[in-house]
Copies of this chain bind each other. A is one copy, B any other.
Amino acid sequence: MSRPLEGIRVLDLTQAYSGPFCTMQLADMGAEVIKIEAPIGDQTRGWGPIVNDYSGYYAYVNRNKKGMVLNLKAEEGKQILRELIAKSDVICENYKVGTFAKLGFPYEELKRINPRIIYGSISGFGINGPLASRPAYDVVAQAMSGMMSVTGYPDQPPVKIGPSIGDNYSGAYLCMGILMSLYKREKTGEGCRLDVAMLDTLFSVMENFVVDYTIGGFVPQRQGNIDPSIAPFASFHAKDCDFTMGCGTDKLWAKLCVIMHKEHLIDDPRFKTNDDRCKNFTPDLDKEVNEWSTTLNFSEIEEKLVEAGIPVGQINDIKQVCELPQIAARNMLWKVYDPGFKDEVSFPGCPIKIQGVEDEIQKPAPLLGEDTDKIMKEILGYDDAKIKAMHDADACM
């Protein structure tokens, strides 16, 4: 079965992480994504891990894309982009708000060139409102969204989420917006203008934290690794590592008591109902579980809890998760020979699994300007003389 987005052409003027993560999804699912870089190249080409002078960061986020270098400060560069817009379905950018318009490409102009174009942008705060023009980094969006205030231990400072989820989650939302717009265009024939902000995105994935305030009337605080409304539901210590485990029902709690050889706790008034257990989790229940779990290796704990149907998992480090048989069975590490490294490398695969659709990488990320001439020739129909003229005018590379 062919990939869902085959036949779709995407012009990708994004760089760094948020935008390229969006277009990576589109490329993974079969779209022809043309990454358009300025002559200086995407800044991620310098981001670690660097091996053989080549960036693992860049190579991961730009797999499956074609690469072209355009100089949008040159009139001829702008003209090449205009011609590409006329022959594309989607265009994405994550410039500072207003910059792409200043370069000569406001939405009205894109739409004039191609009324079917779907134009999406990502920014820190969106294209309107008092903060629209402010620059942002992921860590700023994480801070302002409230995400950090509810992550971490109550007696410790707020914590940033390790990966830049303000970036990648806004990329995922722009991808959703583009996909629904592609569907709609099949019905109406018309393109549209989408924008997604990092602050909006993180604010909208806060689970109950926002409604705790807007409906519940209280300001939720960070709770470490516990769920304040279910117990036991937290991280614990085994002899050899830490793990998380949850008993969502009285029945699972009773099973845990049997496994711990602490049947007397089932009728203990401190732990009788879920409410009781929540109230007495710290320090009593936490202590009871750790007293048992710290005497065993995780593999022994896991065997017993899985047998009883209690959700449990080790707190893996990155090596451990990469080596999980489940990750292999789900084909979540894609392998490819990448000439940038002169070696085979592996990246996280796409988590959308579609029965019957190939689930592997098509091509490594482009070297700088790898497909520039080919795109001018094959998509725009330029002959060799015109291609040479474009290079001579510093329009491309």
Instruction: Answer whether A327 and B203 are a contact pair too, CB < 8 Å, given A143-B244, A152-B159, A318-B212.
Output: yes
Q: Are A318 and B150 interface neighbours, CB within 8 A?
A: yes
Partner-contacting stretch, out of A68-76, A172-180, A373-381? A172-180
Query: Interface residues of A, CB < 8 Å — how many?
Result: 153
Q: Inside 8 A of A196's CB, which chain B residues have their CB?
A: 351-353
Smallest beta-carbon distance A183→chain B, Å: 5
Q: Is the CB of B129 within 8 A of A176?
A: no
B residues in contact with A214, CB < 8 Å: 56, 322, 333, 345-347
A 117-162 contacts with B by CB, 8 A: 124-131, 134-137, 139-153, 156-162
In contact, B163 and A153 (Cβ under 8 angstroms): no
| A330 neighbours in B (Cβ, 8 Å) | 125-126, 128-129, 197, 199-200
Using A144-B321, A151-B151 as known contacts, say yes or no to A170 and B315 having CB atoms under 8 A apart.
no
A229 within 8 A of B: yes
Q: Does chain B have a CB within 8 A of A246?
A: yes
Q: How far is the CB of A228 from chain B (nearest CB, A)?
A: 9
- CB contact list, A203-238 vs B, under 8 A: 203-225, 227, 229, 233-235
Q: Give the docked Cα–Cα distance between A26 and B227 (Å).
A: 28
Closest residue to A150 on the B side, CB-wise? B162
A139/B244 in contact, CB under 8 A: yes
A292 interface residue (CB < 8 Å to B): no
Of A217, A225, A310, A312, most B-chain CB atoms within 10 Å:
A225
* Nearest-Cβ distance from residue A241 to partner chain B, whole angstroms: 10
Sample of 24 A–B contacts (CB below 8 Å)? A5-B180, A5-B184, A48-B208, A48-B229, A49-B211, A59-B211, A60-B210, A126-B329, A135-B311, A137-B311, A139-B235, A144-B314, A147-B162, A149-B316, A150-B163, A160-B244, A176-B179, A192-B354, A200-B351, A203-B348, A211-B345, A214-B322, A219-B317, A219-B319
